[in-house]
Amino acid sequence: MRRTMILMSILIVYSILSVADAQKEKVSGEWPAYGRDSGGSRYSQLSQINRENVGNLKVAWTYRTGAEEVKGVAARNAAFESTPILIDDVLYLTTPYNRVIALDPATGAERWTFDPQVPLDRRYSELTSRGVSTWPAANAGRSRQDAARRIFLATIDARLIALDAATGKTVPGFGENGEVDLSRDVRVVDRSNYQVTSPPAVIGDLVVVGSAIGDNRGVEIERGVVRAYNAMTGKLRWSWDPIPTDRRDPARRTWAGESAARTGAANAWSIISADLERDLIFVPTSSPSPDFYGGERKGDNRYANSVVAIRASTGKVVWHFQVVHHDLWDYDVASQPMLIDLKRSGRQIPAIAVGTKMGLLFVLDRRNGKPVFPVEERPVPKTDVPGEQTSATQPFPKLPRPLVPHQLKAEDAWGLTDKDRDYCRDKIASLRNEGIYTPPSLKGTLAIPGNVGGMNWSGMSFDPVRNLLFVNTNNLPFEVKLIPRDEYNRMRETGATNRVKGEFGRQTGTPYAMYREPLMSPTGTPCIAPPWGRLAAVDLATGDVRWESPLGRIPQLGLFGARAAEWGAINLGGSVATAGGLVFIAASMDDKLRAFDVETGKVVWEGSLPASAQAAPMTYSAGGRQFVVICAGGHGKLGTKRGDFVVAFSLVESKK
């Protein structure tokens, strides 16, 4: 009896301490993971900066990373997309070239830097790094709180590196001299097209990484294997291939013939979420290769274009939910799956919100993958391309409604001038155009939305007090055209492929190459009516869209003054919601960081930046002050103002 009482006492004390740890994490002024927590809620309980005083927000400090000094091939497409993390009173971030920087959070003073010496003479498919991760994770429990903290970096040349958080030196006991070569034991066709651009997920003593793979090169390209490594030793614990190779797996039957053995990609290039309590990670997967022709991979292609729940301790699939069957539009699951506790009908639901490039938001029970809001399969257009086989239906949530348009008719064409509008009207009329999921065609197809979204890697933020989810979207249709192989070869021989403004994809191993470009007028504005970029608030108790506001401006349209503010802009970069009743976001093509009122969607503050910020901001507390920090360095492919700035804002006393 005495032994039983002692054991019960120990369990009660441990339970109290565990709850205390969880509460500390919830109210902490730290930002210990890319999305604030391992589920990516991007919500801070800090409220020192609020709707009443946000007008007093000023630049507190600025740090320059030195990345602007990099020149040549690498620099042209670089994008500064990093979101810093704050743990143990140190701010950690990365440059597009994977240089890790540790800063004093109160002053911006440099603590240390680490350069992994990424080769910059390669033509990388993507040249960016969205940040680092830390171990032990903030929710690791008391058993690991005495472990020496590590910073984990995954690089664009496919390495996983462990750094001592205090010094920035590599950890000798991890892998080989502090790093693991991620190109081992996977089919790597081209090293410059096999990368990691997002921070790893950390759950317990595991570090989990996906990969970024160059699209549209061919059928037999790199495979999107997800791998878990021991955080102490770097030893591989398990690997999971989103293209099922086990013939006993029911998902394998959704890949015709031997296509599951040949096809590549379906990779997880975005942020993987983790639920320590349930021993689950949630993997967002992309389209199989190539994106725009699936005749060599007929079937639904299950596990691709999905969110997949995997048991972290074993690497086994628990459940999966596919958002697009047999993807032909590059509709990757690009956003981090957001883990939230949803208040609905008087009960708490452990939910997962999945944002998509289609502008559809799926809300699921994260225990089993079942929809919280009903989802129905609806008929969609069929292909007319020889060799292709489209899915007869696609999934649509009944709530919330689509957050971007799914149709653009010729009579609805938009332009700044009559000439622009006439051009757009004729262009739209010349394309196959039956709304969303119109398959790519030989004559050319209007893809709405285009492959930039809808929602992209920018992700979402969630206010648990108000049950509001905030998401930024793009409204930009594309033209997509399949080109017979012989015709494409002639175009290359004559140089015709160099005389267009769009993008070609070889799609080697298929009968067709691919061409795509955004649907734009001669003066460079989209052929669809604005706003072209929005920030929306969705009430997850009801599924209603509470408000939508234009997001940002296109600098080239500055002559149109106040009108341009209502048009919004194409955007990449997420938001952060705070207990102060604010949503902070940059993301737009201009050089502003904005604060929106969570209740109304009204812009209540704008802060000027030295460069455009295609990154997600974060907020933390240091020295009794709340800071909002954003990486402002622009985006090569988007063509925004470039730089290498980290900018921190905080309150100043108003002048009487």
pLDDT of residue 653: 62
pLDDT of residue 14: 34
Instruction: Indicate whether 4 pLDDT > 50.
Output: no
Please check whether residue 11 lies inside any domain of the structure. no
Boundaries of domain holding 298: 131-330
Q: Measured at the alpha carbon of residue 228, what is the angle toward residues 24 and 298, in degrees to the nearest 5? A: 120
**Cβ count near 327 (within 10 Å):** 26
3-state secondary structure of 92: strand
pLDDT of residue 11: 35
Mean pLDDT on 13-38: 62
Full-model pTM: 0.93
Measure the CA–CA gap between 614 and 78, rounded to whole angstroms: 11
pLDDT of residue 144: 55
For the ranges 70-74, 90-94, 465-469, 568-572, which has the lowest average pLDDT? 70-74
Q: Where are the alpha helices (DSSP H) in 474-607?
A: 485-494, 562-565
Instruction: Indicate whether 480 pLDDT > 60.
Output: yes
Instruction: Indicate whether 10 pLDDT > 70.
Output: no
Mean pLDDT on 243-254: 95
72 is written with which tokens? Answer: 């040549």
Please check whether residue 248 lies inside any domain of the structure. yes
Mean pLDDT on 23-28: 46
3-state secondary structure of 310: strand
Instruction: Indicate whether 98 pLDDT > 60.
Output: yes
For 219-241, how does the pLDDT look when each residue is reduced to its tens digit (9 = 90+)?
999 999 999 999 999 999 999 99
What's the number of domains the chain is made of? 1
pLDDT of residue 146: 56
Mean pLDDT on 616-641: 96
Mean pLDDT on 167-180: 97
Q: State the pLDDT confidence band at 558, using cuts at 50, 70 and 90.
A: confident
Higher pLDDT, 649 or 125: 649
Three-class SS of 164-183:
ECCCCCECCCCCECCEEECC
Instruction: Indicate whether 598 pLDDT > 80.
Output: yes
pLDDT of residue 163: 98
Q: Cis before residue 136, ω within 30 degrees of 0? A: yes
**What proportion of the chain, given as a percentage, has pLDDT over 90?**
86
Q: Read off the CATH number of the domain in which 146 is found.
A: 2.40.128.630
Higher pLDDT, 120 or 598: 598
For 523-533, how does the pLDDT look when each residue is reduced to its tens digit (9 = 90+)?
999 999 999 99
pLDDT of residue 42: 98
212 with 226: CB under 8 angstroms? no
Q: State the pLDDT confidence band at 206, using cuts at 50, 70 and 90.
A: very high
Please check whether residue 140 lies inside any domain of the structure. yes
Please check whether residue 9 lies inside any domain of the structure. no
Annotated catalytic residues are 330
The DSSP result for 439-479, as a single string, is PPBSS-EEESSBTTBSS-TT-EEEETTTTEEEEEEE---EE
Q: State the pLDDT confidence band at 140, using cuts at 50, 70 and 90.
A: low
Please check whether residue 22 lies inside any domain of the structure. no
pLDDT of residue 76: 81
Measure the CA–CA gap between 441 and 645, rounded to whole angstroms: 43
316 with 310: CB under 8 angstroms? yes
Residues in Cβ contact with 399 at an 8 Å cutoff, skipping those fewer than 6 apart: 373, 374, 542, 543, 544
pLDDT of residue 70: 83
Residues in Cβ contact with 133 at an 8 Å cutoff, skipping those fewer than 6 apart: 33, 34, 85, 151, 152, 199, 200, 201, 202, 207
Please check whether residue 655 lies inside any domain of the structure. no
Instruction: Indicate whether 600 pLDDT > 50.
Output: yes
Instruction: Indicate whether 203 pLDDT > 90.
Output: yes
Residues in Cβ contact with 389 at an 8 Å cutoff, skipping those fewer than 6 apart: 294, 295, 298, 326, 383
The DSSP result for 407-438, as a single string, is ---GGG---SSHHHHHHHHHHHHTSB--STTP
Instruction: Indicate whether 72 pLDDT > 60.
Output: yes
Mean pLDDT on 282-289: 98
Please check whether residue 442 lies inside any domain of the structure. no
Q: State the pLDDT confidence band at 145, using cuts at 50, 70 and 90.
A: low
Average pLDDT of the chain to the nearest whole number? 93
36 with 26: CB under 8 angstroms? no
Mean pLDDT on 496-503: 89
For 330-365, how does the pLDDT look when each residue is reduced to its tens digit (9 = 90+)?
999 999 999 999 987 788 999 999 999 999 999 999
- The Cβ-side half-sphere exposure at 538, using a 13 Å CA radius, reads 26
pLDDT of residue 564: 87
For the ranges 119-128, 301-310, 589-598, 628-637, which has the lowest average pLDDT? 119-128
pLDDT of residue 138: 64
